Amino acid sequence: MTTIKNTIPAIATHPGTILKDEMEENDFSQIDFAKMIGYSRSQLNEIIKGKRNISADLALLLEKTLQIDADYWMEAQKNYDLDKARILQKNKELLESIEIWNATKSFIPVAFFKKEKIITGNPIQDNQIIRGLYGILNLDNLAVLSVQSTFARFKKSTQLKSDVVNIIGWVKLVQYKAKEITAPPFNQENQEQLINELKLILSKNKNVLDKVKSKLHDFGIKLIYQAKGEKTPIDGISFWSEGNPAIGMTIRHNRLDNFAFTLFHELGHIYEHLINNDSAEFIDLETKSEIEEYKNSIEEKQANEFAENKLINKEDWATFSTNLSTKNNDRDIVAFAKKINLHPAIVRGRICHSLKSYRSITSIDNNIG
C-alpha cells in the first residue's frame, strides 16, 4: 500500500478565509450575514480573521445559509488545525537543526562541501547528510575525530594546524563515494598482471584516468578521483571499502609522473599492508607537508620502494642510473623508456626526484593524456 506524505504548507489556511470568499461571492455583508446566523458582527469578524474556530453548530448554520455541507466546514477546520500543528513542529525542528548546524560547522569543511554540492543550505537536510557522510549517529562525535589515531598526526605539523578539518572532510567524502561502488572480488595473486597492464596504459598515455579506473575495477580495486579543498595537501589515500581495497586520488598536478607514482604508492599500501590489516588506512600528503615521523615510517618507505621498483625494475634502474647526471637528457630518457615499455615522462620524473632537480629543459610531454 502506497502512503502519500502530506506536504506541509508555508501557512495554514483558516476556514474563515473560505467563509469570507463565499460571503463576497454571494454579496453578503458582514452585518447581514451575522444576523442570518445569529452571531454578532464582532463574532463573525473573529471567525473571518481566524481568531475563532468553526464549531459543529456553526458548520450546520453555514450549510443552511451557503448550501455548503457542514462536513466540508468541519474538514476545513480540521485541516487548518493539523497544518498549524505541522508548521509549528517544522519550525521547532528547523530551529533545533539550525542550532545543531551552527555547532557542526566548525568541524566540517563547509566551503569544500558547498563547492562539491554535498550540502544544500537546508540545515535539516545537511545535518542528515553529514551524519551519513561521516558515518555517525550523533553529530557530537565530529569533535573527537581529529584526535583519532588516523588523523592525530595532522595536528603535529605546523603547516596543517587549521587543515585537519579539511583533510578529514576529504577523506570521509572519498570513503563515502567508495561505498557506493560495487567491484568484483579482489585477488592479491593477480598483482603482477595488474601492474603490467597498468604500465601499458601509462606508456600509451591516452585516456589514462578512465582506463586506469576501469582496469583497477576489473581487478577488484575501487578508485575515486576527488578534487581537494583549500589547504588540503593530499595526494592519495588507500583503505578497505565493503570488502574491497580502495584508492582515492586528488590529482593535484596534471602530470603523468606524479599520477603514476601516487597510484603505485597507494597500490604499495594495498599489497604490502592492507591485505594484512583490513582496518588500516593510509593518507598520504605532499612530501613537504608531511611530518618526518610519518614520512620515515616503515609503511611509507615500503610503499615508496614498491612504486619505484614496480614502475621501473630495480636492475634496469641500477644500470641506467650509473652516472645519472650525464644521462639527464631527452634522448637517453626516451631510449631507456622505450626499452622498458614505460612513458618517458615517468622516467624523467624518477630522474628529477633522484637528483632533486625539477627545472631542466625538456621536450617530453608530461601532461596526463
Number of domains in the chain: 2
- Alpha-carbon distance of 235 to 257, in angstroms, equals 13
Does residue 197 belong to any structural domain of this protein?
A: no
- Reduced to 3 states (helix: H, G, I; strand: E, B; else coil), residue 230 is coil
Does residue 348 belong to any structural domain of this protein?
A: yes
- 103 contacts: CB under 8 Å, gap ≥ 6: 139
The whole domain housing 352 covers: 312-369
Q: Give me the pLDDT at residue 159, please.
A: 60
The last residue of a domain, from among 47, 71, 103 = 103
- Alpha-carbon distance of 358 to 66, in angstroms, equals 89
Does residue 232 belong to any structural domain of this protein?
A: no
Does residue 347 belong to any structural domain of this protein?
A: yes
- Reduced to 3 states (helix: H, G, I; strand: E, B; else coil), residue 254 is coil
Does residue 88 belong to any structural domain of this protein?
A: yes
The last residue of a domain, from among 54, 72, 103 = 103
- Alpha-carbon distance of 202 to 311, in angstroms, equals 10
- 67 contacts: CB under 8 Å, gap ≥ 6: none
Domain at 95, CATH number: 1.10.260.40
User: How many Cα neighbours within 13 Å face the side chain of 155?
Assistant: 10
- Alpha-carbon distance of 44 to 10, in angstroms, equals 26
- 298 contacts: CB under 8 Å, gap ≥ 6: none
Q: Give me the pLDDT at residue 155, please.
A: 62
Q: Classify strands 244-249 and 234-241 as parallel, antiparallel or unpaired.
A: antiparallel
From residue 93, alpha-carbon distances to 83, 90, 248 in Å are 15, 5, 36
Does residue 304 belong to any structural domain of this protein?
A: no
Does residue 226 belong to any structural domain of this protein?
A: no
Tens of pLDDT, residue by residue, the chain (369 residues): 334 445 777 888 999 999 999 999 999 999 999 899 999 999 999 999 999 999 999 999 999 999 999 999 999 999 988 988 888 888 888 899 999 999 999 999 999 999 999 999 999 999 999 999 999 988 888 888 877 767 766 666 656 544 889 999 999 999 999 999 999 999 999 999 999 999 999 999 999 999 999 999 999 999 999 998 888 889 999 999 999 999 999 998 889 999 999 999 999 999 999 998 888 899 988 877 767 777 778 999 999 999 999 999 999 999 998 877 766 789 999 999 999 999 999 999 999 888 887 777 889 999 999
The last residue of a domain, from among 103, 132, 163 = 103
The owner of cell 519550525 is: 91
Would you list the DSSP string of 92-157? Answer: HHHHHHHHHHHHHGGGS-HHHHHHTT---S-HHHHHHHHHHHHT-SSGGGGGGGGGSHHHHGGGG-
**Residue 238 near residue 282 (C-beta atoms within 8 A):** yes
Q: Give me the pLDDT at residue 118, please.
A: 96
Q: Give me the pLDDT at residue 2, please.
A: 38
From residue 256, alpha-carbon distances to 144, 199, 282, 323 in Å are 38, 12, 22, 25
The answer, as to whether pTM is greater than 0.85, is no
- Alpha-carbon distance of 142 to 98, in angstroms, equals 16
Q: How far is CA 41 from the centre of its chain?
A: 60
Q: Give me the pLDDT at residue 128, please.
A: 95
Does residue 335 belong to any structural domain of this protein?
A: yes
| Residues paired with 284 in a beta bridge | 236
